[in-house]
Amino acid sequence: MAARKAPAKRARAKKKGHGASKKSTKRARAAATPAKVLAKPAVRGPAKPAAKIARKPAAVLRTRKAHIRRNGEAALRRAVRPKPALGRSPYDADLERNPANYQPLTPLTFLERAASVFPHRKAVVHGRTSYDYATFYARARRLASALARRGIRKGDTVSAMLANTPPMLEAHYGVPMTGAVLNALNTRLDPPALAFMLDHGEAKVLITDREFSEIIRETLSLTKVKPLVIEYDDPEFPKLGASISDIDYEEFLAAGDPEFSWRGPDDEWDAIALNYTSGTTGDPKGVVFHHRGAALMAYGNVLSATLSRHPIYLWTLPMFHCNGWCFPWTLSVVAGTHVCLRWVRAKPIFDLLADENVTHLCGAPIVMSTLVNAKPEDRRELPHRVEFITAAAPPPESVLAAMAEAGFNVTHVYGLTETYGPAVVNEWKSDWESLDKHARAAKKARQGVRYHALDALAVVDPETMEPVPADGTTLGEVMFRGSIVMKGYLKNPKATREAFAGGWFHSGDLGVMHPDGYVQLKDRSKDIIISGGENISSIEVEDTLTKHPGVLLAAVVARPDEKWGETPCAFVERKLGAEHLSAEDLIAWCRQHLAHYKCPRHIVFCELPKTSTGKIQKFKLRDQAKAAG
C-alpha cells in the first residue's frame, strides 16, 4: 500500500515547496529497482491450512526466455524478474530463484543420469530380451518424440492397458517427457469401468497389449472419447487375440527420434500420473500425482526398501497399481535392473529369483501365500536372502515365519493410492531380534513410521482433529501430510476438500499410535464391527483365524443381527489338505484366543474375491453377509 500512496505524498510535498526534481525522482526510482535477475516462476503448491498460509510477496513478474544446457542439449525455460516486496528479510532480497540454483523436481532426470553414468548397465529383462540403460533412455525418448508428432502435449492424458512389460516402463518416462500425464489402467477391470476412466481422464492415446484386445474393443464401444490406439504385440509371449489397431508399438517407436530434446516440467506441481481408486462405492476417483511427489517417493523407496547400488528388482507388483509404488522411477536412481513378469505364478517367480539373482520384489500378502504354498517341484533354492516389501493387511505370523524359512526378509509398509503407494514403513530395530517369535511377529505386523519423504503421520480424533494418546489402544483415524500426498481428485473438488479437511489427508483407516511412535492399523472405518456397543477389529479376528494351521486366508465383515446390531462373519479359504476343518473347529479356536464377544458367529468356506493386486474385496463379502442375515 505504501508504494501506491507515494505519488500522492510527493504531490503534497511539492505543493508545500518541498518537491523533488525530475532527475532526483528518476534516481530514486532506479535505486528502488533491483538489478535484473533471471529466476524461475515461484512453484505453486497445494493449498495450506489457514494457520500456515504464508504472506504472498508483493511482486510483479515479467517473463523472458532463458537457455539452460543439460548434457550438452539446450532446453527452453521461463525466467522471471521479481520486484522486491517491502519489509522482506535480507535473506529474501536479491537471492531469488534462477535457472542456476533452482530446477523443478522430477523423476525424469533419474533415467537421463543412469543412461549417462551407466549406459551399458542392464536395465530391463523380459524373457529372452534384455537391454541396457542407454537403450532404455533412447526408447523412452523415441516414445516421447512419436507422441509429440501426433500432437500430444502438456496436460493431455495417455492411457496404458499393459502388463508388467517394457512398454509400461518406457511409458513412465516417455509420456511425461512430452508434458502429458500417464494413466495406467487396471488390467483386471471390466469394460464399463475402463470406459468411465478413459472418458473421465479424456484420454488422447491408448497404448494396449494385444492380450487385452477383446476387452478394449468392448471398452471403446462404450466411450465418448476416441483415443489413438497403439497396440503392443509381446514377442516373448505372443497372443492370439485379434488386432484392434493398425499402429504397432514397435513401429510407432521406430518413427520416433532417439535424440528427442524433451523438456522437464515447468513446475514440479505439474501432473505426471493419473490413477483411479477401486471405486467400490460409486464411480472411481481419479488420483493425480505431481512430479515433485514422484521424485521424492523414488528417493524414499531407495531408503525404505534398502536398495543398494544396482539392485535387481522382480515385477510381481502390478505397475498399474500406484505406478508400481513409483518403482519404475526408483530403479533409475540406483541404476537397477527391472525384471519383467506378465503373470504372478509360483514357478516363474522362483525361476527368475534364482536365474536373474533377484534382490528385491514387492507385493500384497497373496504373493507371499503363492510363494510359501508353492509345490515342491516349483521351488528353487535362492542364491541369497531376498528383500520382500509387502503392504495391505499385516502378514499373519505363520506366513512371516514361512517366508523367513524360504529365504525372504519381509518389510511391512502401508499407504494408499493417494500417497503414491507406501508412505509408512515398519523400521526394524536390531534389539527386536532377541524377542521370542510371537513378540517379534507382533512387531513385524505393525505398519510403522513415516517415510523420509512424508512430512507428518498422525492418529487423530476426526471430530476434534486432536492426536489420540500414544497408548496403543485408543482408536483414531490415520492421517498424512506432506509432498507425497496427491494433488487431489480429478474433476472432484468436493471429494478433494473432504479428503484434505483440517490440513491433513484423511485415510479412512482406523488405527492406534504406540508409545514408541509406531502406527498400527486396526480397521477401515467402514470395516469396524460394532456389536452390542463394543468395537470389534476385523483385522484382529482375521489374524487369529489365519494363525490356525488349516487356514490359508480369512476375511471378517459385519453381519446384521437383531439382538446385537452386528456380529462378526468370517469368510475362510482352507489350505490344501485341510478340507476336514469345520466351522465349529474355527469358532472353538477363536474362543481360545479372543474375548468371546469378538468371535465369529458364522463361518463361510469359499474362495475369497480379490482385486488384481491381491486385496480381498470386502464389499462383496459384506453384500453376502447382509443377504445371509
Nearest CA to 220 out of 211, 229, 231 is that of 229
CATH superfamily of 534-628: ANL, C-terminal domain (3.30.300.30)
- Note the pLDDT of residue 66: 37
> Measured between alpha carbons, how far is 612 from 629 in angstroms, rounded to an integer?
29
Give pairs for 130-134: CB < 8 Å, separation 24+. 133/332, 133/335
Per residue in 215-264, pLDDT (tens digit) is 999 999 999 999 999 999 998 887 767 899 999 999 999 999 999 999 89
Per residue in 467-503, pLDDT (tens digit) is 999 999 998 999 999 999 999 999 999 999 999 999 9
Q: What is the pLDDT averaged over residues 311-336?
A: 96
Q: Which residues contact 90 (CB under 8 A, 6 or more apart)?
A: none
> Measured between alpha carbons, how far is 183 from 200 in angstroms, rounded to an integer?
11
- Note the pLDDT of residue 220: 97
- Note the pLDDT of residue 629: 63
Range from 39-43, 130-134, 607-611 carrying the lowest mean pLDDT: 39-43
- Note the pLDDT of residue 18: 45
Read off the C-alpha cell for 229. 490406439
Per residue in 264-306, pLDDT (tens digit) is 999 999 999 999 986 544 578 999 999 999 999 999 999 999 9
- The domain defined by 291-342+353-364+381-525 folds into Rossmann fold (3.40.50)
Report which of residues 80 and 547 the model is more confident about. 547
pLDDT band at 59 (very low <50, low <70, confident <90, very high): very low
As a whole number, the mean pLDDT across the chain is 85
- Which pTM value belongs to this model? 0.76
DSSP, collapsed to helix, strand or coil, labels residue 559 as strand
- In three state form, how does the secondary structure of 164-176 look? CCHHHHHHHHHCH
DSSP, collapsed to helix, strand or coil, labels residue 316 as coil
- In three state form, how does the secondary structure of 257-275 look? CCCCCCCCCCCCCCEEEEE
Distances (CA, A) of 49 to 193, 287, 296, 453, 486: 34, 21, 22, 19, 16
- Note the pLDDT of residue 82: 54
Nearest CA to 292 out of 320, 257, 326 is that of 326
Please report the beta strands in 149-240, taking only residues with DSSP state E, as ranges in sequence order.
157-161, 181-184, 203-209, 228-232
Report which of residues 163 and 284 the model is more confident about. 163
Nearest CA to 184 out of 313, 43, 325 is that of 325
> Measured between alpha carbons, how far is 127 from 165 in angstroms, rounded to an integer?
10
Q: What is the pLDDT averaged over residues 412-423?
A: 94
- Note the pLDDT of residue 536: 83
Q: What is the pLDDT averaged over residues 111-121?
A: 98
Per residue in 84-95, pLDDT (tens digit) is 556 778 898 889
Q: Which residues contact 178 (CB under 8 A, 6 or more apart)?
A: 144, 147, 148, 152, 153, 154, 156, 262
- Note the pLDDT of residue 71: 41
Q: What is the pLDDT averaged over residues 147-172?
A: 97
Read off the C-alpha cell for 617. 474385496
Distances (CA, A) of 467 to 262, 298, 480: 46, 29, 12
Q: What is the pLDDT averaged over residues 603-608?
A: 93
Tallying the residues shown for the chain, one arrives at 629
Q: Where are the domains of the chain?
A: 291-342+353-364+381-525, 534-628
DSSP, collapsed to helix, strand or coil, labels residue 338 as strand
- Note the pLDDT of residue 278: 65
Per residue in 1-43, pLDDT (tens digit) is 444 444 444 444 444 444 444 444 444 444 444 433 333 333 3
pLDDT band at 466 (very low <50, low <70, confident <90, very high): very high
Listing from the earlier edge strand, what are the strands of the sheet with 386-390?
129-132, 122-126, 337-339, 312-314, 360-363, 386-390, 408-416, 421-425, 449-450
Calculate the CA 261 to chain-centre distance.
28
Nearest CA to 456 out of 499, 490, 503 is that of 503
Instruction: Identify the bridge partners of residue 616 per DSSP, sorted by sequence position.
Output: 610
